[in-house]
Amino acid sequence: NNPARFWEYIFAALRKTAILPDAFFGQTSLQILTADQSVSIETFLTPLLEELVGISDPLVLVLDDYHVISNQRVHEGVMFLLTHQPGKLILVLSTRADPPFPLSRYRARGQLTELRAADLRFTNDEATAFLNCVMHLNLSSLDITALDACTEGWAVGLQLAALSLQTQADRSAFIRAFSGSHRHI
């Protein structure tokens, strides 16, 4: 949530790529920002964008856990980057909540790809294949449906349940007692 630190980490991450190995990448932008934290976003990010324009290979920048960002200056900077992003830069936000960006505008322009919780959940058929074919549990369709409902189709929940089931003598009884609040889940 500290804009200078946020951008320092972004520049450092970009310097770690094979595409931008220059040890001084982003240095001008960072110097402008650290000299005056109240400088306009356009002033300190324009040099970064100028450096990014020259990249020839696609570059994916992933910002994980973006939902923890609450600083408006950070949001404004990321929005500026999105608005002016060079064609080879792909920005991925991993977040549990929608960021304060005009997402509907990006959707309408076909500039946004979203993966929501429902997209990440296993279907009942996928849960069946995983539990019976991969984990070799040979569960009934009723047991699979119950596990799928308890874990809401989340792969890691199904995997943890499957690992617990491997040592159970009465798997159906375990599944009936199983819930998402189970101590191993």
Q: Cα separation of 183 and 164, whole Å?
A: 11
pLDDT band at 20 (very low <50, low <70, confident <90, very high): low
Tens digits of residue pLDDT in 105-132: 999 999 899 999 889 899 999 999 999 9
* Placement of tokens 């304060």 in the chain: 100
Residues pairing with 89 in the sheet: 59
> For residue 18, what pLDDT is reported?
62
Q: Tell me the percentage of the chain whose pLDDT exceeds 70.
A: 93
pTM value is 0.74
- Band of pLDDT at residue 145, cut at 50, 70 and 90: very high
Q: Which two tokens stand for residue 87?
A: 């064609």
List the structure tokens of 81.
Answer: 């980057």
Q: Model confidence over 147-185: pLDDT tens digits?
A: 999 888 999 999 999 999 999 999 999 998 887 665 656
Average pLDDT over residues 143-148: 94
Over residues 39-49, the pLDDT tens digits come to: 888 888 888 88
Distance (Å, whole) CA 185 – CA 179: 8
Mean pLDDT of 136-156: 93
Mean pLDDT value across residues 82-95: 90
Alpha-carbon distance of 145 to 41, in angstroms, equals: 51
